[in-house]
Amino acid sequence: MNKRRLRAVIAIAVLVLTVYLFTRYFIDHPEYWHQLAHVSRWTVLWVILLNIAMLGVLVLMCSATIALCGKRISYKENFILTSYSSIVNFFGPLQSGPGVRGIYLKTRHQIRLRDYTFASLLGLGFFAFFSALFLLVGTRPWWQTVGALIVVSGASWAVLRWFKKRDTHAKESQFGLRSGPLAALFILAFVQVAITVAWYYIELRAVNPHIHFSQAMSYAGAANFSLFVSLTPDAVGIREAFLVFSQHIHHVSTGDIVSANLIDRASYILFLGLLFLLVLSLHAKDRLQLTKLRRSAAQANQQ
């Protein structure tokens, strides 16, 4: 009974905190909604649809990461976990969503936190590789692109090797470089970066119809690298700084950067709000089914 009460208190606290954070964010950033009011509804709709596609990719990437650790979870559990961690990722600093997933998987499915972290770092390495590719391939000479890919690949390998060497209980590891999940993670990382290109292109075209697709590719690559040093919620200020410092690559003006980012965050907040309501409804549905089962069991016992 005490455990049930504690879970209920925690669930209510999480709900209240999430609603508070959304409300507070809206109050502190009213310019997002003013900007959104002047943007075509089709632009907002396409960005939200691409965010839905991105969520699907993240769910599949989570499955591949877990498979590298020798485990599996149901699609529904994966979807709810990924959705919650996406909300946490927006409000929490240092991309805290993966940490939430790691702790949950360790507690619920006995996946070593070090195994999950190593698999996640592998996925981040693929993400960094394709982000570097998109950053340079559209606007810079081929030799600069190849050189950057070599540097990114070397840095990723060094981080993975360093992390692996620090595992003092390697014999307990269930991680394995399984070909299927590894190939899936590589392909999904490419799709993930490609989707960011698509939605940034839509946002940039909404504020400047003369933006080229090659500029959007470089712009997306630069924006993606800001996630590695995300010290603020949704990398507010960090992403803009990365984009301004890389203007000599993508050639997007500062005014367009600011306007496109306003559209991006306003649309994403709207998406997260809808996602939060969906997750709540899924939990409510489960709770209703559980209540029905309890009632059926009670009636059977009485008979």
Which pLDDT score, from 0 to 100, does residue 300 have?
47
Which pLDDT score, from 0 to 100, does residue 290 have?
42
pLDDT tens-digit series, residues 150-179: 999 999 999 999 988 888 787 788 888 888
3-state secondary structure the chain: CHHHHHHHHHHHHHHHHHHHHHHHHHHHCHHHHHHHHCCCHHHHHHHHHHHHHHHHHHHHHHHHHHHHCCCCCCHHHHHHHHHHHHHHHHHCCCCCHHHHHHHHHHHHHCCCHHHHHHHHHHHHHHHHHHHHHHHHHCCCCHHHHHHHHHHHHHHHHHHHHHHHHCCCCHHHCCCCCCHHHHHHHHHHHHHHHHHHHHHHHHHHHHHCCCCCHHHHHHHHHHHHHHHHHCCCHHHCCHHHHHHHHCHHHHCCCHHHHHHHHHHHHHHHHHHHHHHHHHHHHHHHHHHHHHHHHHHHHHHHHHC
Which pLDDT score, from 0 to 100, does residue 155 have?
92
**Sign of the alpha-carbon dihedral angle for 130, 131, 137, 142:** negative
Which pLDDT score, from 0 to 100, does residue 141 have?
84
Q: How far apart are CA 222 and CA 224, in angstroms?
A: 5
Which pLDDT score, from 0 to 100, does residue 92 have?
59
Show the tokens assigned to 153. 């690949």
| Phi, then psi, of 47 in degrees rounded to 5 | -65, -40
Which pLDDT score, from 0 to 100, does residue 64 have?
95
Q: Which residues of the chain have pLDDT under 70?
A: 1-26, 29-37, 91-96, 230-237, 283-303
> Is the entire prediction scored with pTM above 0.85?
no
* Dihedral angle computed from the Cα positions of residues 15, 16, 19 and 21, in that order, rounded to the nearest 10 degrees: -110
pLDDT tens-digit series, residues 35-59: 666 778 888 899 999 999 999 999 9
